[in-house]
A and B are shown apart, each in its own frame.
Chain A
């Protein structure tokens, strides 16, 4: 076979492969949608679940997931913002920066089940927050810290030097510089990070299944010590009943809702990131 044909063949083969991989997403989406359709009815997003989760809707599970992720971001944002500002504006030594980077990578790579177990012991038992949405949010906050940091750091480093120079020329103190220049200009980067963090926290099951959730009994949490039902753990319990088609259909529908949530947040993050790039190029 002459080399040209061989190459054409290879390129063709690779095109098919790439199409296959790309269609993986479509396949997953289509499957989740198709399997979830039987249980999807107009009130699905508004009704409570019934009959051990085999019927009804998932409103409280959805609320539970939203509460956990929002709590996580609200707790994580100040720490992420503060630590990145410190590392970029105040920390001068290279070793210091390297250590911070290593710690961030360490946090990012940790298996999430360990977050769940150690987090429960630390927050739930030692700090006595118990099995509650607060514990869950705290654990998730620690988990998404690196995610937020990356986006914020990207935004700060994308700031043109002129801004910082202008600030120094005006004689502003570092704090004023941060307050008036850096934070407002990095607005989009911060929010990008928030959305990416939300997306990551939304999909997490292992980190919260011991520390924050209940399958039944609670609708909306009424205090800081209440656990919450979540989409993820709801799906986990139903998946173990795979022989029961009703339960399985409910699991798929909940999965569809969860997947849509994660995709929506990710796409929002993209839109924001492109706005960030536009601003940086101005």
Chain B
């Protein structure tokens, strides 16, 4: 069965790029450009995994995670934080809210990200 991925990412170029890659790798990708939109999509589509940017317009990724964890319908969906904002305090907060990992975008190629996500989904 095709796995569903929700990508919450406000940078259009990056969003498109990762969507291309994940689609090509056989995933069904949903894009959201901000937290509220992401949350609505998560409730509607119940993705298998969420890739979450941290610096987002209006409410940031941490707020998104807090909302997600409070909603029993979607609270168990695994989340991978994915950002260029490399701040130790934010990383800790994301981990506390149950983010599986906090990946820095420039450290991985899209292919490497796909492999990591596949790993998570098979776990």
Query: A and B bound?
Result: no
Q: Hey, which bits of chain B sit against chain A, CB under 8 A? A: none
Q: Hey, which bits of chain A sit against chain B, CB under 8 A? A: none
